[in-house]
Structure 1
Amino acid sequence: MRFMIIIKASQDSEAGKMPSQALLTAMGNYNEALLNAGILLAGEGLHPSSKGARVRFRGDTHTVIDGPFAETKELIAGFWLWQVKSKEEAVEWVKRCPNPMPGTEAEIEIRQVFEMEDFGEAFTPELREQEARVWAEAQAQGKKC
């Protein structure tokens, strides 16, 4: 099972405050533990929403909204993608994580990633083949996926 582990933003992360050397060291050690356990697939920190944008879809209309975005508690500061046996295993690993926002209350969300078989008959053999081809090409190009 794959899970996305979502690190919620804080006022500091949204202000562009960079993590301390101590936090970078703790997170580096944590990432190494995830890698050694064989569960780490990807993980990155994200720039503040002030450097981002949203695209809102209403029917065929697309509206671009530049950041920053007001609701910090709804924003994402970073993520990991893990391959684990269960949600419970993901929870146990998150409980070992250093506080990503030292000195503040932080929140990490755990969400299961859909697998091809989750889509049932709507995900036809042709669509499965296309999906496999796209991701194989992305990996061949050195893209993280």
Structure 2
Amino acid sequence: MSKYMLIMRNSGSIENPEDVDFEAVINAMGAYNEAMITAGILVGGDGLTDAAQGSVVEFTDGAPHVTDGPYGDAPALFNGFWTIEVASREDAVAWAVRAPLGAGNKIEIRRLTDETDFADYSDNEFVQKEKEWRGEQTDHTSPE
């Protein structure tokens, strides 16, 4: 099983957000999330606040530069994500197409790296530490 991130992007296609039935959106997303929980594949996920409320740290030749607000044009806005654990990219795609999103939205699907991606560096100190850290995270999130 591999973990995939489904990255929700909004094109800004909703001209009048105040006209959207937000409770209907919550219900549709809740049902979608519940389906992933029931299937045992949802690892985590969240929506994000408006990009105008965020900040961007840009790395250039000099010191990192911090700016407030959106980091790109509306088509690039990242407004939520799910992390799922499924057998294949095809399974991740199958779940992504079920998302209750309207026209103008996109979901980018990316596999999260795991220790197999760093097999050539398995004796590296930080690869070993990462493995330990992941084990500690799992221990903290397990039911007692």
In the superposition, the TM-score normalised over structure 1's length comes to 0.80
Counterpart residue identity of residue 105, structure 1: G
Regions of 4+ moved over 6 Å:
15-19
Aligned alpha-carbon RMSD (Å): 2.6
Which residue in 1 is equivalent to 2:37? Answer: 35
Decide whether aligned partners of structure 1 residues 122 and 60 sit closer, same or farther in structure 2, where only a CA change above 3 A counts.
farther
Query: Does 2:52 correspond to 1:50?
Result: yes
Residue 116 (structure 1) shift: 1.8
Counterpart residue identity of residue 91, structure 1: V
Residue 131 (structure 1) shift: 1.1
- The share of aligned pairs that are identical, in percent, is 33
Q: Secondary structure, in 3 states, of the residue corresponding to 2:87? A: coil
Aligned length: 138
Which residue in 1 is equivalent to 2:118? Answer: 119
8 Å contact kept, 2:10–2:104: no
Question: Where does the alignment leave 5 or more consecutive residues of structure 2 unmatched?
Answer: none
Decide whether aligned partners of structure 1 residues 139 and 94 sit closer, same or farther in structure 2, where only a CA change above 3 A counts.
same
8 Å contact kept, 1:44–1:78: yes
Query: Does 2:131 correspond to 1:132?
Result: yes
Please give the alpha-carbon distance, in whole angstroms, between the structure 1 residues aligned to 2:44 and 2:137.
14
Residue 132 (structure 1) shift: 2.9
Question: Where does the alignment leave 5 or more consecutive residues of structure 1 unmatched?
Answer: none
Q: Secondary structure, in 3 states, of the residue corresponding to 2:128? A: helix
Please give the alpha-carbon distance, in whole angstroms, between the structure 1 residues aligned to 2:59 and 2:135.
29
Residue 16 (structure 1) shift: 8.3
User: Mapping of 1:86-125 within 5 angstroms?
Assistant: 86-99=88-101, 102=102, 104-125=103-124
Measured against aligned partners, the alpha-carbon deviations of 1:32-58 in whole angstroms (never above 9, x if no partner) come to: 110111110001000111111111112
Q: Secondary structure, in 3 states, of the residue corresponding to 1:108? A: strand
